[in-house]
Copies of this chain bind each other. A is one copy, B any other.
Amino acid sequence: MKNVFIIGVGLIGGSFALDIKKQKPEYTIFGIDKSEDHLNEAFNLGIIDGKASFKDLEKADLVIVAIPVDATIEVLSKVLDVISEEAIVFDVGSTKEDICLKVKHHPKRRNFLAAHPIAGTEYSGPKAAIHGLYKDKTNIICEVEETAFKLQERALGLFADLGMRIRYMNPKAHDKHIAYVSHLSHISSFMLGKTVIEKEKNERDIFDMAGSGFESTVRLAKSSPAMWTPIFKQNKTNVIETLDGYISNLKQFKQFIEDENFEAVYNEMEATNHIKDILKGIS
């Protein structure tokens, strides 16, 4: 393996580039991005060795597609059309069902591995790329049996080098679970930020009064709308289900307060404290 192409040189793609470069200095890393500015920025930051375009993909050994999930759906078949029989392509999208469906019958389906590294920050763009982003993180692989065994091995070898844990899942289960543990967190955070901003016209009041608790709950409201809109679109049904559950729990909690049933309020919180033990497994 020599030529690595990263499509989308932002936080996720850029961080792959940095770690691959560190592990394998002999590889050449090319960037492809619809934003010429991002491409220049990634080059100037030393994240990529060169700028490339789609036609160059024919010489790729590895292609990482790290762009918003709607763009992935658009681009993935074109990538598979161009690459050689020996190349492996993986995506990193936060939805898997639509993406797998899109390339289901592509003649080069076996050159594709559907992946979702559970890693990231609330920042975006090449400047947000960091070393070691993937260390000790889970990478969910979907429909592994659809990928050629030799090519699987190559991708899995890279994930192991980067320190990732692998979990296998079918795309439908992935999209359902991830709606709960990731997509809902983002919406709850965005709407919390919105509710507070609407009310607190005087911003000085927000940051004088807000402690680290507020900061951590609204952190995800800094996330990129360009990345998240297509995720909610592709995972619409599951996301709506999580929102129904969340809104109904909030309403019930409100009702307990209205009814002055503070024993129930206490019990709701105590039962959820159990999240402590669950979180010990994360990070």
For residue A37, CB closer than 8 A to chain B, the reply is no
Interface size on A, residues (CB 8 A): 97
- How many Å lie between the Cα of A66 and that of B233 in the bound state? 47
Q: Is the CB of B272 within 8 A of A190?
A: yes
Q: Is the CB of B120 within 8 A of A213?
A: yes
Q: Which of B178, B198, B200, B258 contacts A181 (CB 8 A)?
A: B200
For residue A250, CB closer than 8 A to chain B, the reply is yes
State the oligomeric state as a number of copies.
2
Q: Is the CB of B222 within 8 A of A206?
A: no
For residue A3, CB closer than 8 A to chain B, the reply is no
Chain B contacts for A265, CB-based, 8 A: 225, 229, 232-233
- Interface digits, A200-219 against B, CB 8 Å rule (1 contact, 0 not)? 10011111111111111111
- Expressed in whole angstroms, the minimum distance between the Cβ of A239 and any Cβ of chain B is 6
Q: Which of B177, B199, B254, B283 contacts A200 (CB 8 A)?
A: B177
Contacts A243-B253, A273-B221: A283 and B212 contacting too (C-beta < 8 A)?
Answer: yes
For residue A105, CB closer than 8 A to chain B, the reply is no
Q: Is the CB of A190 within 8 A of B268?
A: yes
- Expressed in whole angstroms, the minimum distance between the Cβ of A140 and any Cβ of chain B is 7
- How many Å lie between the Cα of A262 and that of B233 in the bound state? 7
Q: Is the CB of B213 within 8 A of A216?
A: no
- Expressed in whole angstroms, the minimum distance between the Cβ of A49 and any Cβ of chain B is 29
For residue A155, CB closer than 8 A to chain B, the reply is no
Chain B contacts for A245, CB-based, 8 A: 195, 198-199
For residue A246, CB closer than 8 A to chain B, the reply is yes
Q: Is the CB of A279 within 8 A of B140?
A: no
For residue A45, CB closer than 8 A to chain B, the reply is no
Q: Is the CB of B177 within 8 A of A279?
A: no
Q: Is the CB of B118 within 8 A of A262?
A: no
| 11 further contact pairs, Cβ within 8 A, besides A212-B282, A236-B258 | A165-B208, A177-B200, A186-B213, A188-B192, A193-B275, A194-B272, A197-B278, A219-B279, A229-B262, A240-B254, A243-B250
Q: Which residues of A contact B (CB under 8 A)?
A: 118-122, 137-138, 140, 165, 167, 177-178, 180-182, 184-200, 203-223, 225-226, 228-230, 232-233, 236, 239-240, 242-247, 249-251, 253-254, 257-258, 260, 262, 265-283
Identify 9 residue pairs between A and B in the complex whose beta-carbon atoms are under 8 Å apart, listed by A's number: A120-B213, A121-B212, A137-B211, A177-B209, A208-B281, A232-B257, A233-B260, A243-B253, A243-B257
